[in-house]
Amino acid sequence: MNKTPTLLLVEDEAPAVFAIEKYLTNAGFSVLTAFSAQEGLKTALESRPDAIILDVMMPAESGLDILPELRADSWGQDAKVIVFSNLSDDKHKALANKYNVDGYLIKTDTSLKDLENAIKQLLPKK
Amino acid sequence: MTIDLENLPIGAFFEDVSGAIKSCNKLYLKTLGINNGNSPRSWREMIDLEDEMSTQKEWNEATNDKKSKHIKCRLKKPNGNIIRVDIRANPLLDKSGNLQGYTGTLIDITNQAMFEELLERFKKAVEKTDSQIIFTDAEGIVVFANDAVEKLTGFTSGEIVGTKAGKLWGGLMDAEYYTKLWQKIKIEKLPFDAEIINKKKNGETYFAQINITPVLDSKGEVEFFVGIERDITYFKEMDRVKNEFISITSHQLRTPLSSIKWLCELFWNGDLKGLSNDQKEIMQKVQNENDRLIKLVNSLLNISRIESDKIVITPILTNIPQLVDKVLDDFKELIKSKKQTVEIKFPVGTPQLFLDTKLVGEALSNLISNAHKYTPEGGRLWVKGKVIGNELIISVTDNGIGIPVNDQHRIFEKFFRAENALLKQTNGSGLGLYFVKWVTESQGGRVWFESTENVGTTFYLAFPITHKN
């Protein structure tokens, strides 16, 4: 039996967490959640999820702020990261790309189905 | 030796103490437009009402002192014309020192006075206007700076004159900017119009709109330059605040909008068995309205990015027919729901173009959305491509309501919506075509349209084929 893929959702907006977590759980993923960037980094390094869905604008620190530390980690350097944000400007995209993220999706332009497909693309084929 | 008055190149007269003209030359008569008679009219009888009091006073004062007189005044000729004259007169005294009269000269200075007055006005206009004006020689050395230059930059005219223009307050732009400027005004001999950042004497920077015009001599060589600068710091700041406001607001709006979008999606993925058709319809409308808001916010964000130069164009090799298929795919259901038909026609081997695929896709999406929205049920849409010369011309045609002639000249304006469009569809932002124009022109393309009300509209996008592949 294949292991259920684990995802880490780093997102501070409760309604968004509710919808994404529920949808991805229904789609067969195990979903961990973190409500801040630092909590996200800690959970990621401890739990080593198969992919991280990372919001940008969060209180205290932005999601992009934890990328240098994540990439400096021996596991974290190859961790799959999808940035999931409503910041669609080139400056943030360029910053994310500097840390080799695996995707940058704009929330309002992305359905949960699109998100699921993007995650599946990243995970090893069964 | 006696002097013949007739040979003088100016009007000359002799008048007695009472002011009666005892003798005069022809030029005196000609200047005043009067005939010679036994007693020609005195110029003093012809003083224009407006100058009468002051001139008479001046004359009488001088007469009492038996002094020479120099008077400038306006005279009214018998034909009603007003002329300006310069009169100089010397007292004629007898041996006992009694005043016998005056000998004088009279010159028509109407043209000269008008010219001087005009010149004075020009000078005042240049000196006192709110815009900064400088004149430089052909090498760019300042020869004149008006009051506003001092007011804005803090440098006095004395400090500026004699220096190279911009030496004191410029130098903040990159070298390429100044090379371009000099190339334009000195080599191409054309005006240069652009925004610039300069600095004041106190080190503070400011935004300005500058226009530098080369003034050419009869041989076509630069004689001097006129530079006009207008401080636009305030407008720039207002613009920045506005764009930042739109940007922040839009991002804040996008957060709940995306949550609603996903919650709707979750809803439709859940168990719908217990729901009535009415309830489903209500939910569908919630979702549609949310999608509308998302589109509006995205449009606003695009506009604020265009206006703050934050959109980076990333050209990649783009297959336009494929892009059109992809865009039309999003409209499939909508077009079907209005029973409209779409015809797509691109020539085999349509050249691929280096364009920002995403931006051009959004522009095409706006055109197709309009064609769909403003065409009634059962209508037809065409999306075609054609290579003409060195351009690929994409056209989006519909047989819809068309654009009223009176509205056509404003159709690409931001927030503008045609009158018949407003009546037909309330859900438009007036930002779509503004965006289309920007996307097209920022990538070297052209955009135009043909439209007849109640017949239909065609929008054309022409992109240069620069890299055939």
CB contact under 8 A, B297 and A108: yes
Evaluate whether ipTM surpasses 0.85: yes
> B339 and B290, same structural domain?
no
Above 70 in pLDDT, residue B317?
Answer: yes
pLDDT of residue B206: 93
Task: Please report how the helices B432-441 and B357-373 are oriented relative to each other, as an axis angle in degrees rounded to 10.
Answer: 140
Mutate to test the interface with A, among B258, B266, B300, B358 (most CBs of A within 10 A): B258
- A45 CA to chain B: closest CA distance, Å? 27
pLDDT of residue A106: 94
Report the distance separating Cα B361 and Cα B302, nearest Å.
Answer: 14
Range of the domain at B185: 113-231
pLDDT of residue B37: 67
pLDDT of residue A2: 62
Confidence label for B221 from pLDDT (cuts 50, 70 and 90): very high
pLDDT of residue B275: 92
Per CB-CB distance under 8 Å, the chain A contacts of B294 are: 108-109
Mutate to test the interface with B, among A12, A108, A113, A116 (most CBs of B within 10 A): A108
Mutate to test the interface with A, among B259, B291, B362 (most CBs of A within 10 A): B259
Domain final residue, candidates B164, B198, B231: B231
> B79 and B59, same structural domain?
yes
- Residue indicated by tokens 């407008």: B235
CB contact under 8 A, A113 and B265: yes
| Residue B440 domain-assigned (yes or no) | yes
- CB A123 within 8 Å of CB A103: no
CB contact under 8 A, B259 and A13: yes
- CB A123 within 8 Å of CB A50: yes
| Residue B429 domain-assigned (yes or no) | yes
- CB B41 within 8 Å of CB B32: yes
pLDDT of residue A126: 61
> B352 and B299, same structural domain?
no
pLDDT of residue A1: 46
Instruction: Tell me the average pLDDT across A7-21.
Output: 96
Instruction: Tell me the average pLDDT across B110-124.
Output: 90
Above 50 in pLDDT, residue B6?
Answer: yes
pLDDT of residue B446: 96
> B219 and B130, same structural domain?
yes
3-class secondary structure, B85: strand
Per CB-CB distance under 8 Å, the chain A contacts of B269 are: 23, 26
Helices marked H in A36-111 — which ranges? 37-47, 67-72, 90-98
Instruction: Tell me the average pLDDT across B120-137.
Output: 91
Q: Which of A16, A20, A89 sits opposite B310 (nearest CB)?
A: A89
> B353 and B408, same structural domain?
yes
Closest chain A residue to B251 measured between Cα atoms? A86
Residue B78: count of CB within 10 angstroms of its CB: 11
> B453 and B331, same structural domain?
yes
Could you give the count of Cα atoms lying within 13 Å of B50 in the half-sphere of its Cβ?
8
Closest chain A residue to B308 measured between Cα atoms? A89
| Residue B293 domain-assigned (yes or no) | yes
pLDDT of residue B354: 92
Domain boundaries, chain A: 6-121
Above 90 in pLDDT, residue A120?
Answer: yes
The model's pLDDT over B179-205, given as tens digits with 9 standing for 90+, comes to 999 999 999 999 999 999 999 999 999
The model's pLDDT over A49-75, given as tens digits with 9 standing for 90+, comes to 999 999 999 988 999 999 999 999 999
Above 50 in pLDDT, residue B468?
Answer: no
Instruction: Tell me the average pLDDT across B407-430.
Output: 82
CB contact under 8 A, A57 and B251: yes
CB contact under 8 A, B305 and A89: yes
- Residue indicated by tokens 């919001």: A55
DSSP state at residue B41: P
| Residue B94 domain-assigned (yes or no) | yes
Q: What percent of chain B has pLDDT over 90?
A: 62
Helix (H) or strand (E) holding B87: strand B82-93
We report the CATH number of the domain holding residue B86 as: 3.30.450.20
Mutate to test the interface with A, among B250, B257, B262, B299 (most CBs of A within 10 A): B262
> B145 and B93, same structural domain?
no
> B177 and B285, same structural domain?
no
Domain final residue, candidates B63, B90, B108: B108
| Residue B6 domain-assigned (yes or no) | no
Q: Which of A88, A109, A111 sits opposite B265 (nearest CB)?
A: A111
| Residue B252 domain-assigned (yes or no) | yes
Domains in chain B, number: 4
Task: Report chain B residues touching chain A, CB-CB < 8 A.
Answer: 251, 254-259, 261-263, 265-266, 269, 294, 297-298, 301, 305, 310-312
Instruction: Tell me the average pLDDT across B328-338.
Output: 91
3-class secondary structure, B34: coil
Domain final residue, candidates B307, B327, B361: B307
CB contact under 8 A, A16 and B259: yes
| Residue B413 domain-assigned (yes or no) | yes
Above 60 in pLDDT, residue B467?
Answer: no
- A107 CA to chain B: closest CA distance, Å? 6
CB contact under 8 A, B262 and A20: yes
| Residue B5 domain-assigned (yes or no) | no
- CB A79 within 8 Å of CB A35: no
Above 60 in pLDDT, residue B351?
Answer: yes
pTM over cut 0.80 = no
Above 60 in pLDDT, residue B465?
Answer: yes
Q: What percent of chain B has pLDDT over 70?
A: 97
Beta bridge partners of B211: B193, B228
> B323 and B242, same structural domain?
no
> B294 and B217, same structural domain?
no
The model's pLDDT over B450-464, given as tens digits with 9 standing for 90+, comes to 999 999 999 999 999
pLDDT of residue B38: 61
- Residue indicated by tokens 């440098």: B155
> B170 and B195, same structural domain?
yes
CB contact under 8 A, A23 and B261: no
pLDDT of residue B106: 93
Report the distance separating Cα B280 and Cα B272, nearest Å.
Answer: 8
Per CB-CB distance under 8 Å, the chain A contacts of B301 are: 88
- CB B146 within 8 Å of CB B172: no
CATH superfamily of A6-121: Response regulator (3.40.50.2300)
> B397 and B334, same structural domain?
yes
Q: Are strands A103-106 and B353-355 parallel, antiparallel or unpaired?
A: unpaired
Phi, psi of A69 (to 5 degrees): -70, -40
pLDDT of residue B2: 62
Above 90 in pLDDT, residue B328?
Answer: yes
Helices marked H in B129-200 — which ranges? 147-153, 157-160, 175-182
Average pLDDT over chain B, rounded to an integer: 90
We report the CATH number of the domain holding residue B401 as: 3.30.565.10
Closest chain B residue to A20 measured between Cα atoms? B262
CB within 8 A of A46, min separation 6: which ones?
none
Closest chain B residue to A55 measured between Cα atoms? B255
